Structure 1
Amino acid sequence: MISAHLLSRQATRPGQGPLPRFTSHSTALLLQRSLGGQGLPVTHRRVTRAWESTTSTGSHKESGHIDTSENESLLFFNNLFPLKLSSVLLWRPWTSEDLLHRFESSTYSFIDPVRLVKRALNTHDQVPINVTEIIPRLKDGGAFVKFTYPSDMSAAEVESKLSKFLQNNPIKPWFNPFGRIQTGLVEGVPWLEDLYRLPRSRIRVEFVAAKHDESPAELSQETLYSIFRKYGKISEITSQPMDSKVLPRYAYIDFVLVRDAIMARNCMHGFVLREEGSKNATKLRLSYEQRVKAHHIWAWFTSHPRIVIPIVAALIAAFTVAVFDPIREFFVKAHVQKYFEFTNSRLYKWFKSQTSDILAFRRHKSEDAGLNALFTHRKDLIDSVQTGLLESVDTFTVVHGPRGSGKKELILDQVLKGRGDVLVIDCKPIVEARGEAGTIRRLAFEVGYRPVFSWSNNISSLVDLAVQSTTGAKANFSENLESQVVKILQTTASALKQVGLSARKKEDKDADLSEDAWLEAHPERRPVIVIDHFLHKSEEKGVIYDRIADWAAALVQSNIAHVIFLTDDASYSKPLQRSLPDRVFRSVTLGDLSPEVAKKFVISQLQTDTKFAHDGQQESSPDNDEDSDHKSKKEKKNDQPEPLDPQLLAELDTSISFLGGRLTDLQVLARRLKIGQSPQKAVSEIIDSAASDILRMFLLSTKSPPPSPSSSSSSSSSSPDTSKEKKYTTPQAWFLISQLASSTSPSHSLSYNSILLSPPFSTSSSPIPPESALEALANAELITITTSPSGLPSSIRASKPLYQAAFEKLASDATIKARMDLLMLQELMRVEERKVREVEEELVMMVGLMGVRPGEVSERVEYLLGKMRRGQGLVGELEREVGGLKGRLSTSGDG
């Protein structure tokens, strides 16, 4: 209960009924004087800025409080200014003198706040008061009005009459047509601060001592409700916990409306009262408080990461699919149909048609003429592949042949010449890319898949690691390489299906067919996918080839596209058979050209070059009437190729017999002949270059060579791949080279089983099995392993005819042969010495057993002694041979 001497009357608030009311402002001041003189002392002087302050003159400028004299009090008028626009209104000099002058002579429009105050105070002499000062509070959206009243009235009566008048005659501000201006008597001591404390619906009421030597009493919720209910609807009153050690004690009062909280704070700040039963008076210190909202949803999310994280991952994946997949499909279609290539634009095609003679560069014709001559001999293969593209057979087309046999030129330049919807996927840059991000980036580039965020998987992996280390659950944000490859290929398949259906028209006879049925009925409309370098470095990234093969199988079975594989690996049937087990492939094998075709290919390139050179000289001659007849005769004559030198043709037969029919080697020979070299010299230099590359990459290097040493076009600047150790020894490589060089068989081949049983392979100190060593040499394209009809390896020969000549070149060099033989003999010595040591160790053990059971171990001892005798004899012979080779090397010029 509240002390009786503080309750002077019951005030009636419009629309809310009678509420308990404290003493008037003058009574509160008298109580303050009785408790502490002139109120609480000001401990420091507060400096304000004119553009932020509530006023520029008056006593409150120095102390922050408004002083009143006898028969003088304060009213706070609320809802005069918009709260959200208070910072905009600060540009005007809202001074007390200016406002008072405008109040006395106010003729402004309805948006002027002074006019609103004047209307509120216009009670037709029912309240005889005199306004002495107006102090605006822009931050609170109101103003303090200091006034004097007659001695026969009290300030509470003035407030009661004003409230009743405003209830009967509501004044609505221009910015809030649903609200109205309210006024309240300031019963405390307001603090005019210009801090950045915006009004809130929650007020913090602190209970401080009225005197320094007294302890304040904490007010109950009933008392707080009776004090503050008159200012508006209260939603909650929260008292400080009893076990809290925070001083001063406080309580929270939550108003429904912010304007009610503003009124309560400005009217009751600094109010002093004594609750019944309390010895000491309590001063109320009010401030706005930011209400902390209970984040129940966020709290549930953070407390259940095992449920929330998978849901978030699913939402992110769904958003990515919904937003980025259509964009990626568009770019894949643009890549296949070549939307953005300048050569497909109408402007380029028109310009090319108008300037076809000018743009017919001779170098292109000279290079293409040789290939055209070659393709005429492979017309049957071209026709068979083209026929397969017109049939609805759900299987692959595999073009197999050694490197340099012209597989890519045959398919792209002849089979698919003039065809628009062609997607070429080169597996070589994909499998040679560094890291998973590089592999994804290269695969996306090959199919036109963009945008691709290859770096995001690294960040997702870090997030997965952090989540798993903190919660113990896997978030699965990151994807492995296989899942990302599958995602890219699935998007590509969807785009390819749209490409195939792009030629479908509504007026077609079969327009009523479904999409799959229409594609099956029109195999000629399906796009073509060419997968080049299939199984290149298959031992490193086999998962890439498996996913590409599965994807290609799904495409051909769904009648979405035709798929053509270009491969150098003879074992291509194994991975493709796993993806398409119930189909027979269309296989096209490109071998080396026969000597007759190879000779025609070289001659066609030489004759084309001579013809165009002759045409160039003819074009440079002056065009006059006198030479016109001679010119026409030459044009007719130039239609036939000029015959070559018979001596060059004779040497060309011998040169081609050394080079064989590999297309790349023949092109190198033709280029050398064009610059003036003789066939004999050109072949000699090509063989020397190939021998140098073999020596450097297979015999002198300690690292694995590149999988495709192109010695025919290589130079000394090419460097081997030193990324991993060799899977074979140098003596094994040299043994094969020397045996193939001395082979007397017509095909220059060796028996596979005899090589496995030979000393460098059967008695090697390397832990690698001999079969793996031969396979590694075959993958490096030093040799070629042929198989029997039963599928077992049967013979070994050089990977191409040029290498056979290079092997003979290396074997004929005495210094190289002596050095390599020395390495091979030293390897054999190490193996035999190891065997002898093993026998010695076993003999030592047997000597200990002979004292116990001499008859039972004597036979084994005799066997070991004989084996040690033979082994030691072989070591002695090898040492003598090694000594001879060392002497020969020491006397050689480059030993």
Structure 2
Amino acid sequence: MLDLLPIIHTRVQEYSRALRNKDHACHIATDNFIRTRCIPTHISAIKMEQVYPQGKDGGVFARFTFENAESPDEDILKVRKYLKENKVRRDDTFLRRLQIMLDFPFWKRHSIKGFKVLGTPWLDDMDRFPSRKLRVEFIGGNEPPSIVQQEDLYQLFRLYGKIADIIPHATPADDLPRHAMIRFRNVRGATTAKNCLDGYVHQETGIKLRILYGRGKNTRRILDWIVSNPKLAFPLIIAILGFFAVWVFDPVRGWSIRQRIKGGYDFSWRATRKRIKDGYDSSWRATREFLNRVPSCALNSEDSAEEMMNLNEEHPETIKELEKLKLWMKEAAVVVHGPRRGKMDLLRARVLDDGQYFLVIDCKVIAEAPNDGDMIEEAASQIGYRPLFSQFNYLSELALRAVMGSDNAAKKSSSQAKLDKILVMMMENMKRLALQKKGREHKGKSDEDFLHEVSDTRPVLILENFRHKEEDSAIYEKLAECATQLATDHHANVIFLTNDSNFFKSLPDRLFRTMLLDNSPRHSETVPQELARDVLGLYVRDDGVRKQRPWTSEQAWYFVDQLSKNRKLDYNIVLLHPLFRCHDGEKAIQHLQQAGMISIEPYENGRPANIKPGRPHHAEAFKMLTEDTTLKARMEMRIYKVRIALEAEKIEKLEQELAILAKLKKQPEGRVKYLLDEIEESQHKIDDWGKKADWQRRFLMNEEEKEEARRNWWRFGT
């Protein structure tokens, strides 16, 4: 037997060899190869008759005839000596030739060896693949039943390879054949021994050897131990799935995120409708430009120029702010606050250049998700993180639940880890897009230097409706941390679109630039109404969600009422008002200025002088709000109640001082008289404000009765 072929260990290897070449197993075992490479030329007494390839075991049975039948063993020894001295290899590949040229054994291939077949081997095509273990069964033999001793087995099998151990069967049973286990150090020795000694009859005992491959149990034992232990099995399965996801699905997710940022793929109805609209607008724009070049259509050109002039006249301050925004966002994250409507359209038209990559994340949709699973799906959908495999999140939650022992903690940690992974992958792909245009001219620069100098290649991240739902601050904290990290590392330009500019005050370790954006046209009839709704919702109304604001609704209404009557207010006079004298009024004024409701004019030395509306249209909105008699009565009643409470607190302090003075042996008459006068004056104010508050209350009750009568007018006729 010649061990020419590679050994097949599994069924997959057997199928792959058959698919590559049907006759590959027999190709190198041809008569010509064995005759020219394996048989020495000086021995002419050997003639090869037939070849039987044994593909699984990696060998070839070759039948020879000898002209000198008296000494066949000597001729076989000559063949084996020739193969050993010449180191005949299985093939002559390029690596083998390179090894000979370099004289460096980096590619070791075993030499072909030849052995005489002593038994009658059993050729089969069953799924019994080679192993280092051989099960040697003893069949027949002299009476009483006997076995082949270990010394004899070692002498028989050692010829084919190094033996690691021989394990005899200790207590043979009646229903099991007598056998012994022989473990070789390599598979090649075991396969050669099996094919050469299978069916061999031991001369001394008359026992016939039947050799089978032993079953390897080490791997099976480890697998059974893992499967029988659920605490190890579930984490191991999750780890394997995670490893598979990292190497297979993460590149797909990265491509999906990049396509979302580029706008290359989005098959939703909204995106399809937008593409149709953009195509229509571009074709109409091209048609207008063509018609403007025709003399007969010069009027169209004038109309177009007039429209553009009107547009610039409608937004002179807004256009300047947007130009400033384009410069600011290259250096730091920019917070754009103002009215709820229209900010995104202005950014698309004025800030985002043609062909610039950008990603818009609607924080409102993410924050209003009913549960953590929907929140993850919304975030993945907006970022383009696909595929998501949300069902695997449940498996990870089960694993964390088994480890942590708490359902809420496991669910929370799982959702946070998933959101962190989505945001980290978004950051990595934004950096990759920012480095796309780094060419040979920037070869000497590092990635950080290139991103810092060339700001036009960075994608833009826009967080829309930021801080829409203030009680869920964890999501906004993660989004703000991710966005500011992108802006700090110059991997992307970041813009926050929000209705509340005070959210960044809670993040002192991050640098922001703030900007108030008012996109309202000057001559629009709907502007005062829209601004009135915005002022009422952003600054005045106290619905419980904005109870953490640094100003009160009464303080905001004071500016609405006074600025609707006056163009500007004296800063010092405002501070003397009771609403601002006792409730940290200067801090409230500064926060209202930052929120965009008011603006402060300074003197030449920088000291605050006057207070004006934050935007030109705010005065009209303030006036419209004060014309609402019901709203005005309600707010004035609240202001009266606040002032009454302040005066009552003042009276209480005065009475406490009078009680202390009464304990003295000699009371200071001047101080006592002053305190009594102050108490009397405060009481007159309380009585006056109480009457006014009562009048406002009766007015509101009458208005409510009138409204109820208007709703039920049809009942009086019945």
Return the TM-score normalized by structure 2: 0.51
Pairs within 5 Å for 1:35-434: 78-79=1-2, 110-111=32-33, 123=45, 141-142=60-61, 160-164=73-77, 166=79, 178-179=111-112, 181-186=114-119, 197=128, 202-210=133-141, 216-229=145-158, 231-240=159-168, 242=170, 247-254=176-183, 258=188, 262=192, 265-267=195-197, 269=199, 271=201, 282-289=207-214, 327=255, 330-331=258-259, 334-335=262-263, 353=286, 356-357=289-290, 376-391=313-328, 394=332, 396-401=334-339, 403-404=340-341, 406-413=342-349, 420=356, 423-432=359-368
- Alpha-carbon offset, residue 385 of structure 1: 4.1
Structure with bigger RCO (C-alpha 8 Å, 6+ apart): 2
Residue aligning to 2:379: 443
- For 1:221, the aligned partner's letter is Q
- Residues 1:502 and 1:810: Cα distance change in structure 2 (over 3 Å): farther
1:544 aligned to which of 475, 481, 491? 475
CA distance in 2, matches of 1:393, 1:192: 78
Counterpart position of 1:534: 466
2:334 alignment partner AA = F
* Aligned 8 A contact 1:743 1:750 in 2: no
Deviation, structure 1 residue 459: 1.2
Amino acid at match of 1:271: V
1:198/1:750 CA distance change after superposition, 3 Å: closer
Worse-superposed segment, 382-391 or 433-442: 433-442
Query: Equivalents in 2 of 1:660, 1:390: separation in Å?
Result: 30
* Structure (1/2) with the larger helix percentage: 2
Report the Cα distance in structure 1 between the residues aligned to 2:251 and 2:358, rounded to whole angstroms. 27
Distance 2:188 2:37 in 1: 24
Q: Equivalent residue of 1:141, what SS?
A: strand
* Structure 1 CA distance for aligned equivalents of residues 191 and 455 of structure 2: 79
Equivalent in 524, 529, 532 of residue 598 of structure 1: 524
Structure 2 unaligned runs (5+)?
9-13, 93-110, 267-271, 294-298, 535-624, 643-692, 694-701
Tell me, in whole angstroms, the C-alpha distance in 2 between the residues paired with 1:590 and 1:432: 26
One-letter amino acid of the structure 2 residue matched with residue 465 of structure 1 = L
Q: How has the CA–CA distance of structure 1 residues 517 and 136 changed in structure 2, closer, same or farther, with 3 Å as cutoff? A: closer
Paired position in structure 2 for 1:778: none
Per the alignment, do residues 227 and 357 of structure 1 end up closer, same or farther by CA in structure 2, a change over 3 Å counting? Answer: closer
Q: Return closer, same or farther for 1:109/1:419 CA change in 2, 3 Å cut-off.
A: closer
Give distance in 2, aligned partners of 1:520 and 1:83. Answer: 57
Structure 1 residue 543: deviation in Å?
2.7
Question: Deviation at 1:159?
Answer: 5.2
Equivalent residue letter for 1:427: C
1:575 aligns with 2:495: no
The whole-number CA distance in structure 1 between the counterparts of 2:181 and 2:422 is 59
CA distance in 1, matches of 2:366, 2:422: 13
CA distance in 1, matches of 2:128, 2:456: 76
Gaps of 5+ in 1: 1-77, 95-107, 125-129, 151-156, 276-280, 603-655, 665-739, 758-794, 796-806, 819-887
AA aligned to 1:453 is P
Number of the residue aligned with 2:107? none
CA distance in 2: counterparts of 1:560 and 1:91, whole angstroms: 57
Pair 1:454 & 2:388 matched = yes
Q: Does 2:491 correspond to 1:566?
A: no
For the structure 1 residues 472 and 320, does the alpha-carbon distance in structure 2 shift closer, same or farther, using more than 3 Å as the test? farther
Contact 2:333 2:495 (C-alpha < 8 Å) held by counterparts: no
* 1:215 Cα deviation after fit: 5.4
The TM-score with structure 1 as length reference comes to 0.42
Structure-2 separation of matches of 1:192 and 1:204: 17
1:837-864 deviation digits (Å, cap 9, x = unpaired): xxxxxxxxxxxxxxxxxxxxxxxxxxxx
State the match for 2:584 in structure 1.
none
Offset of 1:424 from its aligned partner? 3.3
Secondary structure of 1:217 counterpart: coil
Q: How does 1:487-566 map to 2 (within 5 A)?
A: 487-493=421-427, 529-539=461-471, 541-555=472-486, 563-566=494-497
- Conserved in 2, the CA contact under 8 Å of 1:336 and 1:421? no
Residues 434 and 82 of structure 1, relative CA distance in 2, 3 Å threshold: same
Coordinate RMSD, CA, aligned? 6.8
* Offset at residue 232 of structure 1 (A): 3.0
Q: Distance in 1 between matches of 2:509 and 2:121?
A: 91
Letter in 1 for 2:166: T
Q: Tell me the CA shift for residue 811 of structure 1.
A: 6.1
Q: Is the 8 A contact 2:343 2:519 kept in 1?
A: no
Mark the CA change 1:661 to 1:538 in structure 2 (over 3 Å): closer, same or farther. closer
2: CA distance, partners of 1:460 / 1:273: 68
Whole-angstrom CA distance in 2 between matches of 1:469 and 1:290: 36
Partner of residue 769, structure 1: none
Give 3-state SS (helix, strand or coil) of 1:208's partner.
Answer: strand
Change (3 A) 1:815 1:148: farther
* Pair 393,442 (structure 1): closer, same or farther in 2 beyond 3 Å: same
174-183 or 517-526, which moves further after superposition?
A: 517-526
Q: Distance in 1 between matches of 2:634 and 2:519?
A: 17
Query: Which amino acid is 1:238 matched to?
Result: I
1:588 to 516, 522, 526: 516
Distance 1:507 1:395 in 2: 29
Deviation of 1:480 after TM superposition, in Å, equals 3.6
Which structure would you say has the larger Rg?
1
Tell me how far 1:217 sits from its aligned partner: 1.9
